[in-house]
Copies of this chain bind each other. A is one copy, B any other.
Amino acid sequence: MNIVVIGIGLIGGSFAKDMKLAYPNANIIGIDKNESHTTEALELGIIDEKGDYNVLASADVVFISIPVNALVLELPKILDAVGDETVVIDAGSTKSLICKVIGNHPKRRNFLASHPIAGTEFSGPSAAINGLYDGKTNIICEVEKTAFKLQERALELFQKLKMRIRYMNPEAHDKHIAYVSHLSHISSFMLGKTVIEKEKNERDIFDMAGSGFESTVRLAKSSPEMWTPIFEQNKENVIETLEEYIQNLEEFKQLLLNNDFENVYEEMNNTNRIKQILKGIPLTKS
């Protein structure tokens, strides 16, 4: 089996590592516009060889994990170059624009729009790990537009990765993910900014970071190269979540100003049920 991974960072590199475990005989070819990434991936044994778009015609599987602004430009060219029996899977964090861009492509049936919800705050080939996708959710959009045989091949791979599959339309995906992922990143970046601005002495931040700051600000370590185009493509949903978040912060501030500590307590108490939600045990039916 020929597996081509385009974009050998954390996401693509981790995919490649697990594919090698699942299919020891697979030939894994890496493509990256950053030559140092493919070189490093080769040294780390993450890929078997370097390639370019000429290898796509004979690929069984193409996995694309590049920033979403590059994705909308490259996917049409990639589809142009693949064979009739190649399945092309993306890992983009936005889905509406990409599905629109290739909506009328003659090889639309070769493409499976997916978003594996997995990652860490680190990036690059050296951040790639085995098992990154284990137990994680993969959201697949417009599955009906992918050729059935190619769907099957992709799902077999996802099963090897031990991913849980959810089907969603691209618009619903982008709306949900704005709340659960994109807003988290902005809240974390702005928290980091607020603290850095104030605490001129960085030693103080470090000394006091045990107080919960470290986990809350973890996402502020994320790559701006990856996140700027995500916010651009999902701008409308992201602004909506930001407005609601700011509104909730304003209301909380008002409770403090009014010395309404009973409702300060209630606000936190109501939100505590996030514990059960994250355990996967819904407390209320909807």
Q: Which residues of A contact B (CB under 8 A)?
A: 117-119, 121, 136-137, 139, 164, 166, 176-177, 179-181, 183-222, 224-225, 227-229, 231-232, 235, 238-239, 241-246, 248-250, 252-253, 256-257, 259, 261, 264-275, 277-278, 280, 282-284, 286
Most buried by B among A186, A208, A242, A246: A208
Tell me if A194 and B278 are in contact (CB < 8 A): no
Residues of chain B with a CB closer than 8 A to A245's CB? 190-191, 194, 249
The 6 closest A-B pairs by CB, nearest first: A181-B211, A224-B268, A180-B208, A184-B216, A202-B282, A192-B271
Which interface residue of A219, A243, A246, A257 has the most chain B CB atoms within 10 A?
A246
Copies of this protein, total: 2
Complex: chain B residue closest to A264, CB-CB: B228
Chain B residues positioned under 8 Å from A235 (CB to CB)? 256, 259
Closest Cβ–Cβ distance, residue A125 to chain B (whole Å): 18
Partner of A206 from the list B196, B208, B269, B278 (CB cut-off 8 Å) is B278
